[in-house]
Each structure stands twice: as structure tokens, then as C-alpha cells.
Amino acid sequence: MPVHLIDSLATTEPLADVFSDESVLQALLDFEAALARAEAQLGVIPKTAAEAIEKCAKAPGFDLAELARETLRAGTPGIPVARELTARVRAANVQAARFVHWGATSQDVADTALILLLKRARAILAGDHARLIAALAALSNEHADTVMLGRTLLQPAPPVTFGLKAAGWLAATRRGWARIDTRFEEAEVIQFGGASGTLAALGDQGVAVGQALAEELGLRYPDAPWHTHRDCLAALAAACGVQCGSLGKMARDISLLMQGEVAEAAEPQGDGRGGSSTMPHKRNPIGCSLALAAAHRAPGLVGAFLSAMVQEHERGVGGWQAEWPIITSLIQATGLAVASMAEVVEGLTVDPARMRANIDATRGAIFAERVMMMLGSTLGRDIAHKLLEESGRKSAAERRPLVDVLAEIPEVVRIIPAVTLRQIDSPENYLGMAGDFRKSLVSPPKK
């Protein structure tokens, strides 16, 4: 379905479809139909009743606006949905209507419907994460030897490679998805406990019905109902928050590299993408902006979910009712962030010449550490540090290369041969373990 205009910077079309009114209602009805089938298999209700219930458990024809109004009055969607479904079944089969929602409670319906929706969302997020990880691996390999400024506290620092930077993004993304996927797996269990979480209404068949219900829905059966134990969903929420942060870090880096004064990388362009209503020349970091917006929203959503975990006894007052909009917003924020960054990385333009020019623009200042270490073993680190500080200031004030200033200092030329000094500002010769680190980050994790 189309994304609501107010949500157009908060989700993607596939995720908006998953959490649309029609989809949510169908998930609620899928629970009721699966419950009836499971109970019919075990002889708890007549097979004809299950058939009638399943036939009526289709979202088209339900008044969604009225269900929303009734949900507000009931405090749960399970009550009005069960009532309306019962009325529909009664119109088709009076006897079958007696067995709608048999032995379940309204939270069983709502929680399991949410899990079904999350299972659908998981597949969408998995696809976009796979795209992003593949694109980052290709980007890192392509630029394994592309030198660029390291930047610490936003200031020039010794060189790194763009391949290493991309590999860092890749590894964080991969770790983040592993966490999310694991938390999805943990959360994909049905909720089925009846009134107080004991399934007393079903006698000694409660567990058998629950297991059959789980099989019908393609979910796992938990050790026990989890009505007021929200830790698995909270862990999923937290994992999404962490991933949004990692994607936001990547987006922040790329958007800074896109600044006109830096101009080392740029997002892909296209009709209507990244432009300005008043400045035709603009090439704005739109994908990065969307990921950063998600990263800004996520911590508050995670915190809200965690605060809602404090739920009373066997059924919570307020905490459970807070969850649906929180967790669905968080999943959609994560999905938007990863889809946006996948698009960014797949079409990212990298300018190695500009990266090299920005290194050269420092006039060798970023290699002061290298010279200090070469002098330190003879002069002592503190003396060498002071000497390089003074040389750096003179280089900046006179706008001269650092090596030229150093070549005029007797203590320096006495220790460092002239031929070595002339090669001090070669970035390829001061990358340390960048190549090894990059390969380690890009390599698939060991199982």
C-alpha cells in the first residue's frame, strides 16, 4: 500500500504494507483461523466449526474504521475482532459461532498477530541488509588501496584507506544484522495462555492445542505464555536501536565526505533525488539524511519500549498497550535506514584524486607523528614532540611543506637521512596495518 504522507520519511512501502490496517487485521484473523484448525485437529471443536471460522476470517468486508474505534474503547484489538468475526460466522453457521476464539484471550490474539507481522518484516529487512553488506564488500575491495585522510575530532590525521573505512561500516552492519536476526528468531513464538496464562479453559489439552496452533502459524511454541514478560521483544527493539546507530554513523561519514569543501564521495543522483527547490546546483545527501533521521528516532523508541516492560502480574495495565506503535515504528525506522544506505552505497561515487589532493593540502602536517617516532628514539619522545609542534606551526604560518621546514633543522637531518626525509609525506608508506585490518573486517565471520 502507499505510505501515508506523514510517514513518508519514516518507512518504506514494503514495511508500510506489512503494518497497514488490512495486514494487521488479517494477522489477527489468521490467529483465529489457525486456532480453530488446531482445535478441530484435536477434537476440541467440530471440524465444521473450524471450516466456517476459517472461511469468515478474511479481512475484506470488515469495517476498519469501526474496529479502530472499538479497539480504543476495549483497550485491545482482540475483543472487537473476535466479536465481529463471531457475528460473521453466526450469519453463516449458528453452531460454529459458539467456537470462535475458543479458550484464548484477547492478548493471545494481539501478541501473536504482532509476531506474524514481525516475521514478514524480518524477511524484508534481511533482503535489504544482504544488499547493503554485498555493496559494502564490493566498495571496500575496489578501494582497498585508495588512500585518504584519517580524521580525528573532524581534523586531519594520519592517512587511512577508503577500503578500511568501508570495511568498518561493513563489519558493524554485519554484526548488527546478526543481532537483529537472532532476536527475531527468539521472538518468533506464539502467545497462547488464555485468561491467566494457564490455559485452564482447555483442560489437559491446552499444550497440545498450543503446539498445533504454533505449527499452523509457522511459529515456535514457547515454554510458557509470556503475557507480561516482554524481554524477547525488548531485545529485538534494542538490537534495532543499535543497528540504527551503526547505519547513522555510516550516513554521517558519507554526508561529511559529500561536503563541497571535502568532495571525496557523493550519493547517486536521479530525477527528484537530492535536489533543492531553490538551488539547482545542489546534490544533497538524502539517503544519509533518512538513515540519520532513523538514528535520531530510534533511541527514544527503544527507551519507550524498555520503560513499558514493567508490567503487572499476569496482564499489564498500560505497558502492553504502549507497545504496538513503538515496536512497529522502530522496525520501520530500521528498515528505512538499511534500505536507504543500501541505495547510497550501491550508487556511491568515490573520487580518489580528490582524496589524494586533500592529503596533499595538509602540506605533510599529518605525517608529524611519523617524524616524531623516528626522532624519538634518539631525542626522546617529549623533545621530539615539541620539535614537531614548533615545526608544524612554522609550516602552517609560512604555508610551506613540513618536510622543507624539517630539512632546515640540524637535529632532524642528523638523524633522518635526506632521502628518507623527502619520502616522509608518502601516504602509502604510513598505513600501518590498514590492509590487514581491512581484510579481517571484510572476511565473513568464522562460524
CATH architecture, domain 106-191+226-350: Up-down Bundle (1.20)
Q: What is the pLDDT of residue 445?
A: 81
Tell me the backbone φ, ψ of residue 220, rounded to 5 degrees: -90, 160
Q: What is the pLDDT of residue 415?
A: 94
Q: How far is CA 78 from CA 33, 101, 144, 154, 224, in A?
A: 13, 9, 55, 53, 20
Q: What is the mean pLDDT of residues 100-127?
A: 98
Tell me the backbone φ, ψ of residue 201, rounded to 5 degrees: -65, -20
Q: What is the mean pLDDT of residues 37-47?
A: 98
pLDDT confidence tier of residue 253, bands split at 50, 70 and 90: very high
Q: What is the pLDDT of residue 274?
A: 55
Q: What is the pLDDT of residue 2?
A: 75
Q: What is the pLDDT of residue 279?
A: 47
Tell me the torsion sign for CA atoms 157, 158, 162, 164: negative
Mean pLDDT over all residues of the chain?
95
Q: What is the pLDDT of residue 276?
A: 45
End-to-end CA distance of the chain: 39
Q: Any idea where the domains of the chain sit in the sequence?
A: 1-104+205-215, 106-191+226-350, 357-442
pLDDT digits (tens, 9 = 90+) for 276-304: 445 455 578 999 999 999 999 999 999 99
Q: What is the mean pLDDT of residues 298-323?
A: 97
pLDDT confidence tier of residue 269, bands split at 50, 70 and 90: confident
pLDDT digits (tens, 9 = 90+) for 1-13: 678 899 999 999 9
> Fold for domain 357-442?
Ribonucleotide Reductase Protein R1; domain 1 (1.10.40)
The neighbouring-strand residues paired with 266 are 349
Contact (CB, 8 A) for 3 and 190: no
- From the candidates 175, 315, 354, 400, give the one annotated as an active-site residue: 315
Q: What is the pLDDT of residue 3?
A: 86
Contact (CB, 8 A) for 53 and 92: no
Is 276 known to be catalytic? Answer: yes
> Fold for domain 1-104+205-215?
Fumarase C; Chain B, domain 1 (1.10.275)
Tell me the backbone φ, ψ of residue 391, rounded to 5 degrees: -65, -40
Query: CA 122, 330, 230 angle in degrees (round to 5)?
Result: 80
Q: What is the pLDDT of residue 416?
A: 93
pLDDT digits (tens, 9 = 90+) for 220-241: 999 999 999 999 999 999 999 9
Cell numbers standing for residue 203: 483442560
What percentage of the chain carries pLDDT values higher than 90?
A: 93
Q: What is the pLDDT of residue 272?
A: 54
- From the candidates 8, 276, 377, 440, give the one annotated as an active-site residue: 276
